[in-house]
Amino acid sequence: MLHLALVRKHTDTHTGSSAFVNISPPMKPYKFYLLSLAVILLDQAVKMLVHYNMELGSAGQIHVFGDWFKLHYTLNPGMAFGLQIGSEYGKLFLSLFRLAAMVGIGVYLWVLARKGVHQGLLWCTALILGGAIGNVIDSTFYGVFLNNAPEGSPTPWFHGQVIDMFYLDIWEGFIPEWVPGIGGEFYSLWPIFNIADASIFVGVFTILLMQRRFFAESPQTSPASADNTINTENLNPNTLTQNS
C-alpha cells in the first residue's frame, strides 16, 4: 500500500527559513449533500404525517414522555422555535432571506469540501443546509399547496407557515413580583420545533463546541521528515490518489 502525503513548502518572509505544511486533498462533496437531502426528506415526511394525521393545536396533542415532551401540531409563521418577525412584509423578507442563506450555505459547503477542511465541519454544514432547505420549502410552498398562509397575507407564495411538532414543555408559571422588570407575569418556556430546526441547532452547536478542532491549523512537517513526502507545490492534487 502506497501512502502519499501532500505538503506545501512555506517560507517565512522574516527569517528566510522554510518548512513544509501538510495539506488535505480536496474531497468530493456529494456525500455531504446526500446528508442534506436525507434531512430534507425526513423533515418533509414528518411534517406531512403530522399535517394529515393530527389535529391542529392542543386537541390533537400526543404525550410522549409525560408532560414535558409532546407531539403538538402547530403552525409557525416566523423563524425557528416559534420566533416571529412583525410587519406585513416581515414574512416575505424572512422567506427571501432563507432562500439566499440556502444558496450561500450550499456554495460554502462545496468550497469547504474542495479546500479539504475537517470532515466534521462538512457534516455539520450539511446538517445546517438540510435544515435551511427544509424550512424554505414550508415558507415558499405551504401557503399554496397546504393553504396555510396567515389571513391577510398579500400572496400565498413565500407566506407559508412552517409546521412544528416537537414540544418541550420545560417550565411555565408566575415570576415573583420582586423580580425586577419581569415580576408578576406568567411565562412559559416551551420551545416547539421540527426536524429542520433540530438539524440546524445540532450543526451550529457542534461547530461551536468543536471549533478548535474543526478550525485548527495544519501541523507543520519538518524538512527532515518531508524527505518521505511528495512536494505538491507545482503539482495538480487531482492527479494524485491517496492509496493504491
Please say whether the beta carbons of 20 and 244 come within 8 A.
Answer: no
Where does the pLDDT of residue 233 fall: very low under 50, low under 70, confident under 90, or very high at 90 and above? Answer: very low
- Among the listed residues 12, 67, 138, 164, the single catalytic one is 164
Q: Which residues contact 136 (CB under 8 A, 6 or more apart)?
A: 95, 98, 99, 102
Percent of the chain with pLDDT over 70: 73
**Same-domain check for residues 3 and 81:** no
Are 75 and 132 found together in one domain?
yes
More confident residue, 175 or 221: 175
Q: Which of 2-11, 17-26, 98-107 has the lowest mean pLDDT?
A: 2-11
Q: Are residues 59 and 148 in the same domain?
A: yes
In the block, residue with C-alpha cell 494524485: 240
Residue 240 has pLDDT above 50, yes or no: no
Sign of the torsion angle spanned by Cα atoms 189, 53, 56, 61: negative
Domain carrying residue 4 = 1-23+218-244
In which band, very low, low, confident or very high, does the pLDDT at 190 lie, cut at 50, 70 and 90? confident
More confident residue, 137 or 222: 137
Is 13 in the same domain as 36?
no
pTM: 0.73
67 catalytically annotated: no
How long a stretch of residues is the chain?
244
* pLDDT category of residue 177 using cuts at 50, 70 and 90: confident
Q: Are residues 30 and 47 in the same domain?
A: yes
Tell me, yes or no, whether 139 and 223 share the same domain.
Answer: no
Q: Cα–Cα distance between 136 and 70 in angstroms, integer?
A: 25
How does residue 243 score in pLDDT terms, banded at 50, 70 and 90? very low
pLDDT score, position 7: 44
Q: What's the pLDDT score for residue 217?
A: 67
**Same domain as 162, residue 93:** yes
Q: Are residues 143 and 232 in the same domain?
A: no
Q: Clarify whether residues 59 and 100 are in a common domain.
A: yes
Asked if 164 and 107 sit in the same domain, the reply is yes
Which residues touch 11 (CB under 8 Å, ≥6 apart)?
17, 18
Q: For residue 204, what are the CA distances in angstroms to 100, 128, 145?
A: 18, 7, 31
The tally of domains found in the chain comes to 2
In a shared domain, residues 12 and 119 = no
The pLDDT of 127-152, averaged and rounded, is 93
Say whether pLDDT at 235 is over 80: no
Domain identity same for 116 and 211: yes
Residue 43 designated active-site: no
pLDDT at 16: 55
pLDDT of residue 88: 56
Q: How far apart are CA 7 and CA 19, in angstroms?
A: 10
Question: 83 vs 105, which has greater pLDDT?
Answer: 105
